[in-house]
Amino acid sequence: MSDLSDLDLSGLDGVDPLRREVFEARLERWLSDLREAVEELYDDPADVVRRLVALAATAYVERDDALHHLDLRRSLAPDWFQRPEMVGYAAYTDRFAEDLAGVAERVGYLEELGVRYLHLMPLLQTRPAPNDGGYAVQDYRRIRPDLGTMEDLRSLAATLRGRGISLCLDLVLNHVAREHEWAERARAGEERYRDYFLVFPDRDVPDAYEATLPEVFPDFAPGSFTFDTDLDAWVWTTFNAYQWDVNWANPDVLCEYADIVLHLANQGVEVLRLDAIAFIWKRLGTSCQNQPEVHALTQALRAVTRIACPAVVFKAEAIVGPQDLLAYLGEGRHHGKVSDLAYHNGLMVQIWSMLASQSALLGTQALSALPDPPASTAWVTYARCHDDIGWAISDEDAAAVGLSGAMHRRFLSDFYAGDFPGSWARGLVFQENAATGDRRISGSLASLAGLQVGDPHAVRRILLAHAIILGFGGVPLIWMGDELGLLNDPDWDAVPEHAEDNRWVHRPRMPWPVPPDTHRVQRGLRSLIGARATLPHLHASVPASVLPPRDPAVFLVARQHPLGTMLGAYNMAPEPRHVPLEVLRTVGLDAASVVDHLTDEAPEVRDEAVQLAPYAAVWLVARP
């Protein structure tokens, strides 16, 4: 048994002996992870650990009985978020249902769709507009007044929990609004809070950092530092002048955020999306992204959370290159100890690349090179999200299949902006960077897939993209409105604060009641989700193996489960393609007894190959 005598457990005084024993058992289990992480970061790790354990003890005692019961169930089933029935849905609260009470009234809609995980986009109190779509947080303990109150959030979380749906919220880690209490007190001259930020008296150090820092928003927020007259100094502002980066090298900041995590967990939040996590540690001479300390900080926060409220998991919002991505689920000494979920941005990018090029060669090259995540974690797979699409395609992967990376990225931007001859897509260029040639794309999934121009294959493309994310494994996430095929919002810039940010084009309001002309997409997606929920091969602990395509237009993914293999085959072309039976035999499937799980029928076999209709998807498994 670990020695807990040097820790502050006074918060447990008077607690029922059995409940205290549970806390101490968890503390013994996770204390080594906590100490290991903190020792990587700070000069006095023992003091920091003591402070963090005291916060965990207080939060544990304050936790509702219903949440303690959830902790127990999740401790006995730690794979709860990895199961095939776990399908997510992401939305802005006001755009989906006006406010939190409205969301509670629409839970039945989510249930019918098959949703088990609801991510509500930023709803904590923000600064007045502009506020980066809610990511300039002024108060982590209050809800935006137009959306409701913290009591409304607790009520919604309880309603969702009772219907088997887990609530996910954003936790912005890299920065706070200039109007946040910490920043206000720093500007008022309190030295303690000045140390919560990265403040410089002149441009010497900022200029040294700027030499290697990429710009996130080169159009409307160039540079990474802002002069503040109240501070009489330069403050680090990676994203916008009104978003002040916090100083995670200060242990007070870690303790503040640990307390915020525990507070939100005690409101019933079950998943925390760690926003902008890649940026939180700064190192001169680097891009100040993906630094090793990021993973130590995440491990520390996770360990504290496991001690106080183990029902809660972390999702890393790390939109980074493939070589850096796996670390957010844990590599080396952090293996399986950091975030439980991470966005598979590469899969999303390659889906759109394969659809535009009608070729799976580059996608296969890029995705097959990514190592498997730890078995206790999961990718979040998605075809669309609230953000723009950046063409994260490496020059090395492109060269391996005979392409120029720069030319292919340019092709994709042209294609999805609708500027390439024959393009069926209608997107908008976002944040064009003349120096780098980087041009990202905004646009709804349906408009990017051709529905806006009436392309006859558009619905097939929409369903194919979803079949890939649902069949790849992990936790598939559906962006609000994609289940209906909602098009670009023609009035996206009508709100003044949105006028300079065309990402609002793919954030339209949900039409209630649901228009009848959307039912084809909705029925198809419901069918895919229903099929996924009954296929054990799609448990996230089972790795996905991307196979070399025999037909260059067919994307192949095998999942080797103890019950047998599932072979996903996806035709990225507008004409029929095929999968040779040799591929089935290679992965252990017998063509004579194979069935397409999506239709529960034998696939069409002709000329020693499974035949695929244009933009078709099949999930081939052995017939039971």
Q: Which residues are catalytic?
A: 275, 317
Vertex 90: Cα angle to 454 and 80 (nearest 5): 125
Beta strands in 173-223 (DSSP E): 175-177, 199-200
Q: Single out the residue of 623, 563, 564 nearest to residue 596, CA to CA.
A: 623
Report the alpha-carbon distance of residue 171 to residue 504 in Å, rounded.
Answer: 21
Phi, psi (deg, nearest 5) at residue 365: -60, -50
Query: Could you tell me the maximum CA-CA distance found in the chain, to the nearest angstrom?
Result: 78
554 contacts 577 by C-beta, under 8 angstroms: yes
Please, is 607 exposed, middle or buried when counting C-beta atoms within 10 Å of its C-beta (0-12, 13-18, 19+)?
Answer: exposed
Report the alpha-carbon distance of residue 546 to residue 538 in Å, rounded.
Answer: 14
For residue 322, say if its preceding peptide bond is cis, omega within 30 degrees of 0.
no
Map tokens 């190592």 to a residue. 371
Q: What are the angstrom distances between the C-alpha of 464 and each of 354, 459, 479, 570? A: 11, 8, 15, 7
Report the alpha-carbon distance of residue 336 to residue 306 in Å, rounded.
Answer: 13
Q: What are the angstrom distances between the C-alpha of 103 and each of 334, 448, 492? A: 37, 27, 22
Cβ-Cβ contacts under 8 Å for 67 (sequence gap 6 or more): 265, 266, 268, 309, 311
Radius of gyration of the chain measured on its C-alpha atoms: 24
**Tokens matching residue 563:** 């019950």
342 contacts 315 by C-beta, under 8 angstroms: yes
Kindly give the residue spans of alpha helices, DSSP state H, lying in 213-325. 251-265, 292-308, 322-325
576 contacts 611 by C-beta, under 8 angstroms: yes
Report the alpha-carbon distance of residue 314 to residue 476 in Å, rounded.
Answer: 16
For residue 78, say if its preceding peptide bond is cis, omega within 30 degrees of 0.
no
Report the alpha-carbon distance of residue 321 to residue 349 in Å, rounded.
Answer: 11
**Tokens matching residue 415:** 């294609």
CB count within 10 Å of CB 3 equals: 8
